[in-house]
Amino acid sequence: MTTDITKTTDVPASDNASRVTALRWLAAVGGIATIASTFMSWTYTSEFPGDLTVYGYPGGLQVLTLVAGLVIVLFALASLGIKGLGWLAPTGTTKALQLLALGAFGTTWFTVIAIAVELGGVINLEPGGYVAAVTSAIPVAAAYMLPDDTRKAQRPKELPSWAEILIVVAAFAVGMYVITYGIDTEYAELFTGYLITVGFAVAALFKAGLVARLSGLTAKYRQVTLIAAFVAAAAFPFTQNTDTYTLIAVNILIFATVALGLNIVVGLAGLLDLGYVAFLGVGAYTAALVSGSTASAFDVHFPFWAAVLTGAAVSLIFGVVIGAPTLRLRGDYLAIVTLGFGEIFRIAMGNLDGVSGPQITNGPNGIPNIPDLNFFGYNFGESHTIAGIELGSYANYYLLMLLAMVLVVLVFSRAGSSRIGRAWVAIREDETAATAMGINGFRVKLIAFALGATLAGLAGTVQAHVQHTVVPEMYQFAGPVPPNSAFLLAAVILGGMGTISGPLLGATLLYMIPAKLQFLQDYQLLGFGIALILLMRFRPEGLIANRRAQLEYHENDQLDVPEKGLPDSGVGIAKAGA
């Protein structure tokens, strides 16, 4: 009787393992077929951007589908236990496969639909377009029929130090290439496909546990990580032939630097500031007035270093003057007061025109003709040749702004881990309890407010020279062009409050998307509202969250699964986790 029971339980388990293996092979085959479809013509006319008419040579959006299909194949083979690929998915392959399959499917079907809509019907599709649409659906169907194989990541195999450092360097090189590719996209359709592909791919890497493992290496080699990140970012202007996309990168750095300064106020100290962009304007207007502009009310021409210090100092003074009487308020009351300050600043700059007030800022016309920076004989407005590569004027400002961001990151990291940083966190979590423990809440909040204002003023001095003009409309609560207070706050919340990389990522996304998708400019606030609602529902801690926020928001979502995977996961999973 015992023998009969064993047979009846073993046979279904064996059948289930065979079914799982077959589904994984089907996902791999679907990925290969998706790759093959990109070498076919998807449309017969070159009117659709990217020239998808050539056989044997993928172009435009086909390249994104090809890359997505290749990654699907790699993860499908990893799930089958192919030797040498287990490192791709330390915590399981099923969820990663599902996300990757959705990414390839979304990019392919977006392309097919865009061809039909823009060219006037599905008649404009070649057979390759239909083949791609069908083959991209195969991995989706196979991946969603697989059982969940999520498991705890095993301790990784020890590698030589040089190999681990090489992995860190390669990761940053790949990351910089992906970001550069997105900035360099030439048309809206390609950028949309890029967002779909990269978005699902990054989510898949998180689910597979690969990002967590890489984070462990970066924490182990912190100095190497910082150097690799800086070198990768500094290499960007050397990859550009014109200043068209370099200007976008400069504005992203300005936006990200200001967002990181706001992160001190909102992310660390927990102060809801809705008028933070005014401090950026204070720095920009100060630099415009003292840098020798022909429209300046003052006949002075400070050198760059003096203009930067002046802009930062004036912003600091404004931060203290505004913060001293208002930081005794909390919550919504503080938010209303800071919102009022932002609007008062914009209106005041518009009224200092010699009619409604003193002639200082030229009112709505602003201060134009701000000269390019000249730092020890190095003119930022001229092209320079470095290592045989000609760098345009915006490349000079890019490298300058990169150094400014390094300074802001250093200030943020040092302040966050200091005694005053821990006091900010205590105030953010519970001001009453922090005050009872002896923390002077008002003084601590004023320091955060003043430091955030100083960093914003620092970025504003560079922005004034990049834009060559400053006008009041640049510093609104919400407007069509970032940075403004709504954009800045959204960048901090979207990226992840209290982190360094979170606001940088949030600012990059919130600037690149409107810059690349011009048709969305009239619907930006609607899009941000929808994005924030979805974020609060599915990832309330932000895209990149610190450990404290993750534990707070997901304390009941901890997985409790065996370390070696589920019983029906097959031998392949055990090999993949090795």
Mean pLDDT over 545-551 rounds to 65
Q: How many CB atoms lie within 10 A of CB 279?
A: 37
The rounded distance, in Å, linking the Cα atoms of 374 and 384 is 13
What pLDDT, in 10s, does the model give residues 213-249?
Answer: 888 888 888 888 888 888 888 888 888 877 788 888 8
Mean pLDDT over 554-578 rounds to 41
DSSP 201: H
- Across 8-12, 17-21, 104-108, least confident range: 8-12
Mean pLDDT over 252-275 rounds to 86
The pLDDT, as a whole number, for residue 551 is: 61
Residue 28 has pLDDT above 90, yes or no: yes
Mean pLDDT of the chain: 82
More confident residue, 240 or 61: 61
What pLDDT, in 10s, does the model give residues 332-359?
Answer: 888 888 888 888 888 988 888 778 778 8
The pLDDT, as a whole number, for residue 12 is: 62
**Residue 31: which pLDDT band, with cuts at 50, 70 and 90?**
very high
The rounded distance, in Å, linking the Cα atoms of 574 and 181 is 36
Measured CA distances, 407 to 261, 279, 404, 418, 452 (Å): 11, 18, 5, 16, 13
More confident residue, 155 or 76: 76
DSSP 268: I
**Residue 556: which pLDDT band, with cuts at 50, 70 and 90?**
low
Q: How many CA atoms lie within 13 A of 57 on its CB side?
A: 4
Q: What is the pTM of this model?
A: 0.80
Residue 478 has which token pair?
A: 């919400």
Residue 197 has pLDDT above 90, yes or no: yes
**Residue 550: which pLDDT band, with cuts at 50, 70 and 90?**
low
Q: How many CB atoms lie within 10 A of CB 50?
A: 21
Residue 365 has which token pair?
A: 């016309």
